[in-house]
Structure formats: C-alpha cells, structure tokens
C-alpha cells in the first residue's frame, strides 16, 4: 500500500527508497514514514468534509506521533492540531504551528501547562472536569483573557475495541458524565464562567474503531444534551467535536472503513439530528491520530539471534522490541512482518519475533511466516506509524531509534537516533565521596 513496492533487487522500497539502503544509511531500528501516504490521509479527511458541505476542522491527534517535522507537515496540509501536554504543545510551537489552530486536551492539565497555552493564545481548550473549569477560568481571568472551550463529555458509548483504549463509556477518567446530568451541570458552570467562552461539546468514544455505529449513538446523545442545554440555558453551540478513533489495517484480516465513510456518516448524522432538534448546524470537528499516520510508518530492524526449540517454536530476535513498539506488550496488538531484503523469497517458515528487552512479554509478533532468515537480514514491520515512536521508551537503557521521512526517492532524517550520551544526559553522580548508607 502507499508507495511501498518490491524493487528490482527484491527489496522492499518505500517512497522510492530502498529500505535495505535506508537501514545501512541510518541504522536500525528505524522508523520510516511514507510522507506521501501521510499527506494522502490528511487530504482524504479534508476532502470528505468538503464534499459534506459542513463547516469543519480536522485536528490531527498529535499523541499518535508528535515530532516537529510531523507538526510542520500537518500545518502545511492545513489541519488543526490536538495536543495533550505541555510537551506536545511545545513541540508544535517550536515547529511554528499556528497557535490558533491548536486544541488542548487532557484530564489533568497542570497550571503551568494552562498558562503556557494561554500565553501562546491557542485556539481552544477541551475542558475535562470541574476542577479544570474553575482553574482555567481563574488563570484566564488573571490575565484578562477570554478563552474558547469545549466540554469533553462521556456519552456512555462502549466502542468495540481494547478496554484500555476505549474511552467513551460512563466509567472513564475522561470527561463529564452525560447520564448522571453532570454534563449539563458543566454547561451551566461554563456559561457562568466569565473568562470562558463555551463553543460546544466534545466526545471521543475510543480508538481503532471499525464501524460507524458508535459515532452515530454518541452524536445522538450529544445532540440530545445540546437540546436540553438550549432549553434550560438558551445555549446554542457552534462546534461539535466527535473525536478520533478511526481504525486502520494492521494485519490482513482487518477491515477498516475509508476516511470518507466515517466522515459521511458523521456528517449526515449531525445534519439529521440537529435538524430534528431544531438546532443550527454546528462546525464539525474530528481528531484522527492513528488513521493519519498509522499505516504510513514501517519499522526496520536487524535480525540477530535465533533460537529454535525442537517441535515447539523458532524465536527470531531483532535489535528492538517493546522499547520502540510497546503495543504488542501493552494491548496484545498483532502485526505482520516481511524480510526487506528477501521480498521475493517464499515465506514458508513459521517463526515468532522477539525483542531484545529483559522481559518475556517482549515479543513483537507471535507466529508469522517469513522466508528463511539469517543474522543481518532486515525485518520490516508495517503499520507502526501510530503510537510506536510516540510510546517509545528507554527500558533497559535502550536508545530510541531515528525517524526518517521518505518521498520520491529522498530520505530525510527528522528525529536523530539517541546516543549513549543522551541516555545519561539527565543523570547526576552524587558529589559526595560516598553515598550515605
Ligand atoms: N482524541 C482524543 C480525545 C483521544 O483521546 C484520542 C486517542 C484521539 C483523539 C486519537 O485517537 P486515534 O484516532 O489515534 O484512534 N496508545 C493507544 C491508543 C490510545 C488512544 C488515546 N486517545 C494505541 O496504541 O492503540
């Protein structure tokens, strides 16, 4: 998919670049992003909205993959940006991302983060709870500012996805609960807050969602809530944000819907529901993360040790693992793989791909068919563009890999590989001759 293909050498090529040469040039593990495919995904969402005729904003959920280069690309594509921490906000601002197109999420924004966002004059805060409503109102008031907000509500929808990544259900740490009347109360508080300007509501029902039903139910509940808010407080919303969560293909059996399908369903449901309740059409916002970058990223590893347990299993170990892709260990996420330098050879050996961390759970793939491999071969794991680099870590003091963007035969380094010095950069050796016992 994307610009991936097999070249004359029988190697995996991405964005016109031979992946085996990329591995040589930049080292492994290496995150390779197909820039054209990322841009294509951005445009697919935008074009689907344009076709719907509704006013909209597509905000890339930067948590999926947040680097300065990615923020720049998103800016060029005209999207907005969803950030959830001072770190993501800082990355975006350093990349020159226009502050007015930044939306700030999070269930426990610190006063420092809020002040940073106020000073930068970001476009919108998505307020998650009563504590934040009061805090934001106070901090904005002290600075003589009026800030635009959405209220994040949990519409009580159980998205059919892994428990850890489903967020719209009532019993969630995120947002104001709709069922108990808490959300309506939050609308009232927001309207009473002098330094806050309530634009509308936000909900996010989960992630890696393969159907549209959850969005339809969420929109129905949000519209009902807005009808009540209008009736009780005369509040008319101008924005409805239905979050992200659009699924992607990780393995052959996955059947994600096209961006157009999600957008068409969401847009037509909003049209119908709002008309039904006699409410003016809002500007519709979405926040795709995974579906923008997920399948545009491929991780390249070098194969090292193998271990065969007769009649049981063959383990093939790579020079990365849960430090660069935490998803298999955390969510039992499933991936496929190919040997980048043996793309034309028959995949007739069943193996399991192990990481190099000191942890039995550090398995990238259980049971995958590959051609016979040897040490030095390059393993490519596709669909690692979302929440791979973003959740990478230094467990076992393993340095984070580099990231390259590839396009039209050119490869551009956008994140340098961490060095051993980077790993000890924040460490301080106690000055005392001996640590106190
Ligand atoms: N908006 C909000 C408020 C969110 O909480 C999220 C994801 C998104 C948008 C973007 O969702 P996406 O389009 O990427 O599905 N680390 C997990 C995913 C956690 C998602 C958290 N929130 C994983 O690797 O599957």
Which residue would you say has higher pLDDT here, 116 or 165? 116
Nearest Cα residue to atom 19 of ligand 1:
165
Which residues, including other chains, have CB under 8 Å from residue 355's CB and lie 6 or more apart?
317, 318, 320, 321, 322, 323, 362, 363, 364
- The pLDDT of residue 170 is 79
Q: Look up residue 198 and give its two tokens.
A: 């309530």
The ligand 1 atom nearest the CA atom of 246: 13
Q: Residue 428 CB: number of other CB atoms within 10 A?
A: 6
Taking only the tens place, the pLDDT of each residue in 185-216 is 999 999 999 999 999 999 999 999 999 999 99
**Ligand 1 centroid to residue 244 C-alpha, Å:** 7
- The pLDDT of residue 238 is 98
Among 41, 60, 61, 163, name the best residue to mutate to test ligand 1's pocket (greatest count of ligand atoms within 8 A of Cβ): 61
- The pLDDT of residue 432 is 74
Among 44, 103, 290, name the best residue to mutate to test ligand 1's pocket (greatest count of ligand atoms within 8 A of Cβ): 290
- The pLDDT of residue 168 is 65
**CA-angle at 136, arms to 227 and 129, nearest 5°:** 55
From the options 2.40.37.10, 3.40.50.10330, 1.20.120.450, 2.40.30.20, give the CATH code of 5-33+294-418. 2.40.37.10
Rg (CA), the chain: 23
Distance, in Å, from the CA atom of 224 to the CA atom of 274, rounded to the nearest integer, reads: 9
Q: pTM for this structure?
A: 0.96
Q: Look up residue 284 and give its two tokens.
A: 């519709």
**Ligand 1 centroid to residue 155 C-alpha, Å:** 17
Nearest Cα residue to atom 21 of ligand 1:
165
Give yes or no for a contact between 22 and 341, defined as CB atoms under 8 angstroms apart.
no
Taking only the tens place, the pLDDT of each residue in 37-75 is 999 999 999 999 999 999 999 999 999 999 999 999 999
What's the whole-number mean pLDDT along residues 336-351? 98
Residue 102 pLDDT > 80: yes
The ligand 1 atom nearest the CA atom of 247: 15
Nearest Cα residue to atom 5 of ligand 1:
204
Q: Look up residue 19 and give its two tokens.
A: 């992946």
Nearest Cα residue to atom 18 of ligand 1:
165
**Ligand 1 centroid to residue 397 C-alpha, Å:** 27
Taking only the tens place, the pLDDT of each residue in 407-429 is 999 999 999 999 999 999 999 99
What's the whole-number mean pLDDT along residues 73-83? 98
Q: Look up residue 104 and give its two tokens.
A: 């700030």
**CA-angle at 81, arms to 110 and 280, nearest 5°:** 100
Distance, in Å, from the CA atom of 86 to the CA atom of 104, rounded to the nearest integer, reads: 9
**CA-angle at 191, arms to 187 and 192, nearest 5°:** 115
Distance, in Å, from the CA atom of 257 to the CA atom of 247, rounded to the nearest integer, reads: 7
Pocket of ligand 1 (CB under 6 A): 61, 64, 82, 105, 165, 167, 204, 207-208, 243-246, 287-291, 327, 331, 386-387
- The pLDDT of residue 169 is 73
At which residue do the structure tokens 């790993």 appear? Answer: 423
Among residues 246, 249, 270, 250, the alpha carbon closest in space to that of 259 is found at 246
**Ligand 1 centroid to residue 245 C-alpha, Å:** 6
**Residue range(s) in the chain whose domain bears CATH number 3.20.20.10:** 35-293
Which residues, including other chains, have CB under 8 Å from residue 379's CB and lie 6 or more apart?
300, 301, 302, 303, 316, 318, 337, 338, 339, 340, 353, 370, 373
ipTM of the complex: 0.99
| Residue numbers belonging to the annotated binding site for substrate | 290, 327, 331, 359, 387
Average pLDDT score, the chain: 96
The ligand 1 atom nearest the CA atom of 292: 13
Q: Please identify every residue annotated as catalytic.
A: 358
Distance, in Å, from the CA atom of 405 to the CA atom of 319, rounded to the nearest integer, reads: 21
Sheet strand arrangement including 5-6: 5-6, 12-14, 17-18
- The pLDDT of residue 134 is 98
For residue 381, what are the β-bridge partners?
299
**Ligand 1 centroid to residue 64 C-alpha, Å:** 7
Class of domain 35-293: alpha beta
| Residue numbers belonging to the annotated binding site for pyridoxal 5'-phosphate | 245, 287-290, 387
**Residue range(s) in the chain whose domain bears CATH number 2.40.37.10:** 5-33+294-418
The ligand 1 atom nearest the CA atom of 208: 15
**Ligand 1 centroid to residue 287 C-alpha, Å:** 9
Taking only the tens place, the pLDDT of each residue in 164-187 is 455 567 788 999 999 999 999 999
């Amino acid at each position: 998919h994307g610009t991936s293909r097999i070249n004359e050498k029988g190697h995996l090529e991405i964005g016109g670049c031979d992946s085996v040469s990329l591995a040589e040039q930049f080292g492994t593990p290496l995150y390779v992003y197909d820039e054209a495919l990322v841009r294509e995904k951005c445009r697919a969402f935008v074009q689907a909205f344009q076709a719907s005729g509704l006013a909209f904003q597509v905000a890339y959920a930067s948590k999926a993959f947040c680097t300065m280069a990615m923020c720049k690309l998103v800016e060029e594509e005209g999207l907005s940006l969803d950030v959830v921490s001072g770190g993501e906000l800082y990355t975006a601002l350093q990349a020159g991302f226009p502050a007015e197109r930044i939306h700030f999420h999070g269930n426990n924004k610190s006063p420092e983060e809020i002040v940073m966002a106020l000073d930068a004059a970001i476009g919108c805060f998505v307020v998650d709870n009563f504590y934040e409503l009061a805090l934001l109102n106070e901090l904005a008031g002290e600075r003589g500012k009026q800030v635009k907000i959405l209220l994040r509500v949990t519409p009580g929808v159980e998205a059919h996805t892994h428990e850890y990544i489903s967020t719209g259900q009532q019993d969630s740490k995120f947002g104001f609960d709709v069922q108990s009347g808490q959300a309506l109360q939050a609308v009232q508080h927001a309207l009473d807050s002098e330094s806050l300007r309530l634009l509308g509501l936000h909900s996010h029902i989960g992630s890696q969602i393969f159907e549209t039903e959850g969005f339809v139910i969420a929109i129905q509940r949000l519209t009902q809530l807005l009808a009540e808010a209008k009736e009780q407080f005369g509040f008319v919303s101008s924005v409805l944000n239905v979050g992200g969560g659009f699924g992607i293909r990780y393995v052959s059996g996955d059947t994600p819907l096209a961006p157009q399908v999600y957008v068409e369903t969401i847009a037509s449901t909003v049209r119908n529901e709002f008309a039904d309740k006699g409410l003016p059409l809002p500007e519709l916002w979405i926040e795709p993360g995974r579906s923008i970058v997920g399948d545009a990223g491929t991780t390249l590893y070098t194969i090292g040790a193998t271990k065969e347990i007769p009649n049981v299993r063959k383990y093939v170990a790579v020079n990365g693992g849960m430090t660069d892709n935490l998803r298999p260990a955390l969510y039992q996420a499933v991936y496929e793989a190919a040997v980048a330098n043996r793309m034309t050879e028959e995949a007739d050996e069943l193996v399991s791909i192990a990481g190099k961390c000191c942890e039995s759970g550090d398995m990238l793939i259980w049971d995958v068919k590959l051609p016979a491999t040897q040490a030095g071969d390059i393993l490519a794991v596709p669909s690692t563009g979302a929440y791979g680099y973003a959740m990478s870590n230094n467990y076992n003091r393993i340095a984070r890999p580099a990231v390259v963007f590839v396009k039209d035969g050119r490869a551009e380094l956008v994140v340098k590989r961490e060095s051993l010095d980077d790993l000890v950069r924040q460490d301080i050796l106690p000055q005392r001759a001996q640590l106190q016992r």
